[in-house]
Amino acid sequence: MTVEPLILAVDDEAGILRLIKLELSSQGFRVVVAGDGEEALRLAEQQRPDIVVLDIMMPQMSGLEVMRRLRERTSVPVILLTAKDHDDDKVRGLELGADDYLVKPFNPEELSARVRAVLRRGYRPVTGGENVVSVGNVDIDLDRRLVKKDGDVVSLTRTEARSGAPNTAMTCNTCGFGSRVCAASWSPIRPIQPLSRRCRGSVIC
């Protein structure tokens, strides 16, 4: 059975979160919400959303910092919510890898349209975990580029995240993985030795 896309909405204003959840839920999406950056990062690891709607202007941890940390471990699409007069934040957000942005105050229907547009560019419905490779106590999500050991997300370096988490597994014939994981990778491995050492230390051991 196809699972509807999961959206993580992040904003420090409770009223905006309610509006986002009401609109996106009415469009058939599953929605989880976070009121600050720390909660957003925790939910991103636990829930593995298909897209993140992220406010830039938040206290304690800004949306840009949240996105920077997300990009170190996942390629999940991000739509930024920005203030009308903060062009510098929009530019920096796009440079960090944001997929789109929406200026506050925004029309909820426009948000839904932008979410659908971003998902069309890269979302594939989950139909039962066929894109997750499990070897022993290690799970590798090929779609979201996440590696888990004993259910806990393994923090990847920027090189590993950009190359793709399975690249780490590909270097692990010496660590006990096998040809099944190697065959599942989507891009070449490089450099081999640094990733192999890291894999032995943080994933297998």
- Which helix (H) or strand (E) segment is 146 a member of? strand 146-149
Do residue 93 and residue 144 come from a single domain?
Answer: no
Residue whose token pair is 């699409």: 77
- Residue 184, domain member (yes or no): yes
DSSP state of 107: -
Q: The domain spanning residue 42 has which CATH number?
A: 3.40.50.2300
Task: Please report, in tens digits, the pLDDT of each residue of the chain (205 residues total).
Answer: 556 889 999 999 999 999 999 999 999 999 999 999 999 999 999 999 999 999 999 988 999 999 999 988 888 999 999 887 777 888 888 888 889 999 988 999 999 999 999 988 865 444 444 566 767 777 776 655 667 776 666 666 555 555 544 444 444 443 444 433 444 443 443 333 444 444 444 444 3
DSSP state of 187: S
Domain end, chosen from 97, 122, 147, is at 122
Nearest to 24 by CA among 48, 5, 49: 5
- Residue 149 and residue 198 in contact, taking contact as beta carbons nearer than 8 Å: no
Task: Please give the model's pTM, rounded to 2 decimal places.
Answer: 0.61
First to last CA, the chain: 35
Taken as a whole, the chain contains a residue count of 205
- Residue 167 and residue 149 in contact, taking contact as beta carbons nearer than 8 Å: no
